[in-house]
Structure 1
Amino acid sequence: MSDLLAGKTIVITGASSGIGRAIALTAAKHGAKAVIVSDITETPREGGEPTTKAIAALSLGTLTKFQHADVSSPDDNDKLIAAAEEFGGVDIMMCNAGISLSADGADVSAADFQRLMAINVNGTLFGAQAAARQMKKLGKKGSIILMASMGGLAGAAVTLAYSTSKGGIVQMARSLADAYGPDGIRVNAIAPGSIDTELLRATPGVASVTEGFRLRTPLRRVGQPDEIANVVVFLGSDLASYITGVILPVDGGLLAVI
């Protein structure tokens, strides 16, 4: 499709399924030299072939590797980024891994809340830190992209824990942009709206309000994973060389209207 990511190595957490899988495939189509797919398991949540095999089937010559990682573990994040060394080191870090809860809301249990925060917030920070350490060691002016959500910009009763975690990602992106900017490392976040993934359908509270969101969205539809992936390509490319600290809603205009 293009050479926007030519010569770049991208690491994507949560890349077996959904948005992460779309990002991995789209990065390959835009010329990424290497794509490292990271997740708890290689098997997509939707079923089907692993992401690395799907990339290989494109016959683009993109180097691929699957690296198991529990993002809530700092050691696993360090091992994940170390896996990029054989490809010249990470240029683009996409901290995409995250979960939602089947029983979210004001009465969320302590155990569920802590589990969600460990993955969504701690895991994002640990991944960004590990990537930045390698980028600085190798002198790379890289791009770190965090996955926020429109739920991090506007709250909802049915997503109390999820929205709290994604609100943390919003401020994390801004703060890390300030911290890593002197090294030439850019940090931005994407805030998707309702995106057609298995995760959305499997989360009862969110699924129950999706049709209402669609009707209020100026474009009158939910988004597709590829539409988030395209934004990642832009933010990871040199076209975005002076963009950092930005939280970019990709929500069909939902947050722009009352």
Structure 2
Amino acid sequence: MLHTNTVATRTGAFHFNGEVAHVSSILDGKTVVVTGAASGIGRAIAIGAARHGAKAVIVSDVEQTPKEGGEPATDAIEAIGGTARFHRADVTSRSEVDDLVAAADEFGGVDVMVCNAGITLADDGADVREEDYRRLMAVNLDGVLFGAQAAARTMKTAGRQGSIVLMGSMGGVVGAGFTVAYSTSKGGVVLMAKALADALGPDGIRVNSICPGVIDTHLLRNTPAVASAADGFRQRTPLRRMGQPSEIGDAVAWLGSDLSSFVTGIALLVDGGLTSVV
């Protein structure tokens, strides 16, 4: 329910303390689980789910405090009238991911699973260290698979035709010498979505990947090689700007909604057109 100090806009949205409280009802009645949701794109996805009418949002990360500071995602969601729970989970642990998905049972079970958690490396090139490579793959690839598997099991048990969204990247479609391990992991995510779409399609479960371009986040600004290249990317992007985390949240909401009911196995590029011209 919206707070009394909301105001309607010409678009039909509502604002609460500067935040857009309601954009649409495309996720009405759905319970959404988002990993890596304390900060950056994951936080925007979680808040976006509430803005698009989700019944409840399970916010998951290794800690609740955003890397960029500020209020927890759960507080931001509740401030705009949504329902949220924080559930700590390390996505590299299959048992912790299973427990995370089970946390959605409070609201009738998971309808939309967003496997967003991911990391970058400060030194990620042709000579990437083995221990760094293994750590990145454990989060960016293994953790995504564990989340998709856990959600699919519960959806099939409930006979639910749910949606699973995997977080890929522009870097999983085109390579770069300074993101060797990262691009490898995200390329794997893109193909994982296609393979899982085939495996789970007969059960009515859709699986897609989102591939963001250069998005203005704390993670980008604190990954030296990417940050140094960001302005060049921006100038080459047809729209001549970086994307905002909320724009990824909106794309995820669409893939989680019934508006995309015949869409599965795709890698949705949300990159301002950058991969069309590089």
Partner of 2:7: none
Runs of at least 4 residues off by over 3 Å: none
Q: TM-score, normalised by structure 2?
A: 0.91
Q: TM-score, normalised by structure 1?
A: 0.98
CA-to-partner distance for each residue in 1:12-65, whole Å, 9 max, x for gaps?
A: 00000001111111111111000000000000010011110111111x2x2211
Amino acid in the other structure paired with 2:239: L
RMSD: 0.6
Partner of 2:264: 244
Specify the SS of the correspondent of 2:179: helix
Gaps of 5+ in 1: none
CA-to-partner distance for each residue in 1:115-144, whole Å, 9 max, x for gaps?
A: 000000000000000000000001110000
1:29 to 51, 69, 86: 51
1:5 to 22, 27, 30: 27
1:50 to 46, 49, 72: 72
Specify the SS of the correspondent of 2:178: helix
Partner of 1:95: 115
Amino acid in the other structure paired with 1:174: K
Amino acid in the other structure paired with 2:162: G
Partner of 1:224: 244
Partner of 1:178: 198
Amino acid in the other structure paired with 1:8: K
Count of matched residue pairs: 256
Partner of 1:137: 157
* Matching of residues 146-225 of structure 1 within 5 Å: 146-225=166-245
Partner of 1:41: 63
Q: Sequence identity of aligned pairs in percent?
A: 65
2:38 to 16, 41, 44: 16
Deviation at residue 162 of structure 1 after TM alignment: 0.3
Question: How far apart are the structure 2 equivalents of 1:131 and 1:233?
Answer: 17
Pair 1:77-2:97 in alignment: yes
Question: How far apart are the structure 2 equivalents of 1:81 and 1:24?
Answer: 15
Partner of 1:113: 133
Deviation at residue 244 of structure 1 after TM alignment: 0.1
